[in-house]
Amino acid sequence: MWTVRLIDKTDVAKFIDLQNALDKETQYMLMEPGELSDSVAEWEKRIVPFIDQPQNGFWVVEADDGTLVGFLRARGQTPRRLAHSALIVVGIRQAYWGQGIGTQLFQILESWAKDHRIHRMELDVMVTNRRALGLYHKMGFQVEGLRRHSIRYTDGQFVDEYMMAKWLD
């Protein structure tokens, strides 16, 4: 089983392990294996703004054994003209796909967004990531545009990305 909760400063080392695992098991994350730093101090600098700044949210999915198996983070915008929007990044370990984690994360996100007066949630997704596209459509996100050749794998292959968004009342 698993639980969803807000990330804590004590989660940094476990989050590094999660990010490294995600980078190894799927091509759908932005970074390639070994590209991210393993420095706890560097990751603390990345994660602390999600804890300390109210326009940001960061949830982790913790398995019963204490390992992190997924996450969703929302980075709110600070310019007043963009303060109604948040950028979303999500990742879930493959062994936990199909268990409702993504749905629960997006439900929590939407509740948080309403509480923080976020009107627009947006994300990018590779057009080949059919599983994620299914989840995003189910959760009410719509394709707004296509970024051609936005990702390049190490083998030289280019992949397009959809820009997707959801608006809240």
Other Cβ atoms within 10 Å of 146 Cβ, number: 11
Query: Token pair for residue 12?
Result: 């940094």
Distance CA 85, CA 68 (A): 27
Longest Cα–Cα distance of the chain, Å, equals 43
pLDDT one digit per residue (tens) for the chain, 169 residues: 999 999 999 999 999 999 999 999 988 888 888 777 888 888 888 899 889 888 999 999 999 999 999 999 999 988 899 999 999 999 999 999 999 999 999 999 999 999 999 999 999 999 999 999 999 999 999 999 999 999 998 889 999 999 999 999 8
Distance CA 33, CA 11 (A): 20
Question: pTM of the full predicted structure?
Answer: 0.94
CATH of domain 2-167: 3.40.630.30
Q: For the chain, what are the domain ranges? A: 2-167
Query: Token pair for residue 121?
Result: 């949630």
